[in-house]
Amino acid sequence: METAKFGGTARGGICRLTLTDSDRQVRDWFVKACEETDCSVTVDEIGNIFALRPGKNNALPPIAMGSHLDTQPSGGKFDGVVGVLAGLEVLRALAEANYTTDSPLELINWTNEEGSRFTPTMTGSGVFAGMYSLDFTYASKDRTGKTLGGELERIGYRGKTKPGSHQLNTYFELHIEQGPVLESENKMIGVVTGVQGLRWYDVTVVGCDSHAGATPMHLRKDAMLGYARMVEAINKIALNHSPLGVSTVGSVEVKPNSRNVIPGYVSFSVDMRHPEDAELNRMEKELEDSIVKIARDMKLEVKLENICNFTSVQFDEDCINTVRTSAMELDYSYRSLISGAGHDAVYISQIAPTSMIFIPCKAGISHNELEIIEPEHLTAGAKVLLKAVIERDKAIRDRIT
């Protein structure tokens, strides 16, 4: 509730777009809170903030926790924030208990996870993991033409250390589920085993603009009707791959968009996801086949363009087991889950053993000012995070000695 003031909205949500003044305010708050918890704070060149709590054996790479403090323009109070603040609570609890881990611990706030103001999403973790160059991300512009690099500089968070210049032993990320599964099954903890693959396409359908009154039905090339049949087909593709496959047509543009003109042009987006890449390949093939067939039957032209891919991610078996055991030993109800959304953990899993912990959010609603969680679920999530960190620390120590 304290950090929700930075960018807080009248409807109880947060508008804290990355690298704005409210992002600077929450970052300042975070840095101060970490320093007060005896951590040393560094910032890298992409603005990721690292709070390091020394262990007994500081030659070891740290066990890391983290998430993001930026939000969508009409975001909720908990997406990303719970992962960072629960990590802070873990550090505070250890400080209060006078408990020193063997490995150092590190709490991370990643820059621009949301990707709402600047693309791509998950910029900070992506640069840290070597997926994007600094120059590429610095040049990214928002709608008003301001660059990500310039805004980092302006708010004073263009740090000095090279992104990715230090290793992470482990990365745990606590996050709200952003979907309805945990709540519907009355489970407190999601043991996240991976993240499903995602593909984005743009589809363009071209017919012929013609007069709505003077063109008989059988002589039309109606791009809108072709589009409608394609939407139906795309929905069926996911149903053919149920329950794990999902497909969505979420955005559409029609031209000339006039009441009495048969539309000659429609372009729309397709979002397809599945936890298995082989199944996603099949869904893609079905997408191609079905829209080509519909277009051919209706004498339309169609173009399918793949604009973004994320392969599915399988998290580290040891980390998953550590989370599962922690939930079990703390006596919380849990189930295994595959994340439907992307997270910083996707990129970090490429360079360090990683897994995630989910807690329920009411009705699965997220990216919404009305996002709500139960305090007891947050407590459970934070305790599982704490226990997972401690168990992981012990396992590393035992492996060495």
Which residues bind to Zn ion, rule: CB under 5 A? 79-80
Instruction: Count Cβ atoms within 10 A of the Cβ of residue 189 and give its class: 0-12 exposed, 13-18 middle, 19 or more buried.
Output: buried
State in angstroms the smallest separation of the CB of 299 from Zn ion. 45
Rounded to whole angstroms, the Cα distance separating 330 from 37 reads 25
CA–CA distances in Å: residue 81 to residues 63, 78, 182, 281, 394:
19, 5, 19, 34, 27
**Which of 80/207 has CB closer to Zn ion?**
80
**Which of 70/106 has CB closer to Zn ion?**
70
Residue 385: count other Cβ atoms within 10 Å of its Cβ.
Answer: 23
**Which of 80/190 has CB closer to Zn ion?**
80
Note if the bond before 120 is cis, omega within 30 degrees: yes
State in angstroms the smallest separation of the CB of 328 from Zn ion. 26
Q: Which of 163, 74, 76, 59 is nearest to 111 (CA)?
A: 163
CA–CA distances in Å: residue 364 to residues 184, 235, 329, 335, 371:
9, 21, 26, 16, 8
**Which of 164/340 has CB closer to Zn ion?**
340
Answer yes or no: are the C-beta atoms of 19 and 47 closer than 8 Å.
Answer: yes
Beta strands in 224-317 (DSSP E): 246-248, 252-255, 261-262, 265-274, 301-310, 313-314
Answer yes or no: are the C-beta atoms of 221 and 298 closer than 8 Å.
Answer: yes
**Which of 60/69 has CB closer to Zn ion?**
69
Rounded to whole angstroms, the Cα distance separating 216 from 218 reads 6
**Which of 44/79 has CB closer to Zn ion?**
79
Which amino acid type is present at position 153? E
**Can you read off the two tokens belonging to residue 53?**
């709590």
User: Buried (b) or exposed (e) across 273-282, using 16+ Cβ within 10 A?
Assistant: bbbbeebbeb
Q: What is the number of the residue whose Cβ is closest to Zn ion?
A: 80
**Which of 70/222 has CB closer to Zn ion?**
70
**Which of 80/275 has CB closer to Zn ion?**
80
